[in-house]
Structure 1
Amino acid sequence: MTRIEFHFNTSERLLHTCRLVRKARAQNLRIAVVGAPATLKQLDAELWRFQDVSFLAHCTAQDPPEIQRASPVALGPDPHARGINEVLLNLGDEVPDDFERFARLIEIVSSDDHGRFQARVRWKHYKSLGFEILQHDLSKVPET
């Protein structure tokens, strides 16, 4: 069964996403990231400048097929397009299609009213399907 986590109360949503990608890559996991096109474009830029001394290899749906096949991190509308089934990061408002195919789903909740409302809708959906949900209140944890 998919492990579902909600990460909320982060002051920097995309920066937190970069940290999660870095952590998952350190564990040699492959990651799919879904969300609105504008959000994914911002994340793409953030991943390029996240750390001065390293690069978080990733691809977008616009990259050539050979780059997409080689990339351990895929940003795009279809979480299954690259055959990744380990970690799914959701930056969008909707429940990702076929999220159950992933070992782990992480919902990164925006701190604005709209983001919190949409997260509550997704939370209720997952609970109605019988999933246990882990919560991570990021206001209580120093971000590194």
Structure 2
Amino acid sequence: MSRIEFYVLATDRPADRLRAACQLAMKAWRHGLPVFVRAADTDQCAELDEQMWLFKKDCFIPHNQHSDDPLAPVVIGVDEEPSAQQGVLINLNTTISPHVERFSRIIEIVNQQPDLLTVCRENFRSYRQRGYDPKRVEL
């Protein structure tokens, strides 16, 4: 069963969620795990793509959008089916991925925006109802 963690940021800035996604993607990639970063929409996919290019000046995160290369070490997409099995899903979308069972680890990134907090609390309960044991991690 997948390990599910809700990483909770202390700020309400959307840019901090993207930065955390880049940081977590880099860490998982460095540990040899395939990564799928699930964005809210195509605009956020483009923003994530840009952020990964700029994230660290001394390190490149090998990434691509799903439409360009679904087999990249770090894939950015929305609801496309992941090509890799048992990797890490970093979810920036407000809904639970339809492909949860394909990942060994799911990371939901939460900030202090009231609407997002409400949705993430509902998702936390939904994971529990599905038989998962989600954990909360303070960042």
Q: Same fold (TM over 0.5)?
A: yes
Count of residue pairs brought into register by the alignment: 134
Q: Deviations over 1:67-105 (max 9, x none)?
A: 433x10111123534234311110001010030221011
The one of 46, 51, 57 aligned to 2:51: 46
Structure 1 residue 3 and structure 2 residue 7: aligned?
Answer: no
Shift, 1:130, TM fit: 1.9
**1:111–1:77 distance in 2 versus 1, CA, 3 Å:** same
**Structure 1: distance between partners of 2:114 and 2:79:** 26
Aligned runs of 1:1-144 on 2, under 5 Å?
1-11=1-11, 12-37=16-41, 38-63=43-68, 67-69=69-71, 71-138=72-139
In structure 1, what residue type is equivalent to 2:45? L
**Structure 1: distance between partners of 2:128 and 2:95:** 15
Q: Contact 2:66–2:80 at 8 Å: present in 1 too?
A: no
Q: Contact 1:32–1:84 at 8 Å: present in 2 too?
A: no
Shift, 1:51, TM fit: 0.6
Which structure 1 segments of 5+ residues have no match? Answer: 139-144
TM-score with structure 1 setting the length:
0.85
Q: Contact 1:88–1:105 at 8 Å: present in 2 too?
A: yes
**Structure 1: distance between partners of 2:86 and 2:78:** 15
The RMSD of aligned alpha carbons is 1.5
Which structure 2 segments of 5+ residues have no match? Answer: none
TM-score with structure 2 setting the length:
0.88
